[in-house]
Homo-oligomer: A and B are copies of this chain.
Amino acid sequence: MSVPFTEDELIARLFTPLAGPGGLALRDDAALISPPPGTQIVATTDAIVAGVHFFADDPPRCVARKALRTNLSDLAAKGADPHGFLLTLALPAEVSAQWLEDFAAALGEDCRAYAIDLLGGDTVRTPGPAMISITALGLAPTGKMVPRTGARPGDALYVSGTIGDAAIGLKLRADAAFLSVLPTRARNELVSRYLEPRPRNALAATMRAHASGGMDVSDGFIGDIAKMLAASGVSARINLADVPLSAAARAAIALDASLFDAALVGGDDYELLASVPAGSTAAFEAGAGAAHVDVSRVGWVVAGPAPPEFIGADGALRKFARGSFSHF
């Protein structure tokens, strides 16, 4: 074994500092969670595998952030505030002490930034690629979790931030020539959006106050919208011209028009999709503004259950052969 720590040393040195009170200093077999009266626990699990969800040579700090933030994004979409998480770390023998230290350091920074504590976990050796699986627990006032099934005809559909940056960033990483044509700032922004999700936990309180339904956009905007509407038994009309794009994405699309579709179906956005009753749109927008999160109305929910209609800038219906990206 060339893993540079024993499991106990690894835990004591790198991870115990991240433990919250419920983590019992990571010295017990289990964590203890006491939801405050009037709250429910919202639980979600997301795993990432080297060579599938990230590159084996991605910086360990980025890997840590991606592992935790994909889960934080699910909590935000449900209107839940981060509480704690359990970490499964499967490590190949060749992982270095430096890799682990950087991984744990970035995880600790995110614990502070997102107000979430490490509660426990398991560290195992694997003959395969590194894999990180996180179960995140959040808290929401009882009855206030935002369901995927809540969109109703007449609701407005909103998306936070900008769509497609990560998908274009991923394509750019594989195409060095194209990368060199794009201005440095745009390039860095797009690649960074792929490497490090920026979950919208700042929007959680606004989601639970005003959204009828929600999910996070992680597998592709087109496919995820279709998933949420199907779960709600409704349809929608979406204006693709209203899908928010960053200046960097616009710059890339100006050089290669096919990147627009890549942006729409590519995934790894970690933005929030929300259905908001017509009477609540002003309050939703005000809440988002107060939270310093941009939100854009991209369409309206209509009676279902037909698939949503995506309308191009020319007014014509667009079809997508493949609405989302699956790592499976």
A78 CB contacts on chain B under 8 angstroms: 28-30
Q: What B residues does A299 contact at CB under 8 A?
A: none
> When chains A and B are docked, how far (Å) is the Cα of A326 from the Cα of B69?
30
Find out whether the CB atom of B126 lies under 8 angstroms from the CB atom of A328: no
A24 to chain B, nearest CB (A): 7
Check if B88 sits within 8 Å of A52, measured CB to CB.
no
Chain B residue contacts of A32, Cβ below 8 A: 40-43, 145
Number of copies: 2
Contact in complex: A90, B45 (CB < 8 Å): no
Stretch in A114-122, A165-173, A196-204 touching the partner: A114-122
Residue in B24, B41, B129, B327 whose CB lies within 8 Å of A147: B24
Pair B42/A127 contact, Cβ less than 8 Å: no
Q: A69 to nearest B CB, angstroms?
A: 14
Given A3-B328, A6-B326; A44-B29 close (CB under 8 Å): yes
Interface size class of A (residues with CB under 8 A): 35 or more
Contact with B along A68-101 (1 / 0, CB 8 A): 0000001101101000001110100000000000
Which residues from chain B contact A328 at a C-beta distance below 8 Å?
1, 3, 6-7, 10, 123-125
Interface positions of A (Cβ within 8 A of B): 1, 3, 6-7, 10, 24, 27-35, 37, 40-49, 51-53, 74-75, 77-78, 80, 86-88, 90, 119-129, 131, 133, 135, 137-138, 142, 145, 147-149, 215-216, 231, 326-328
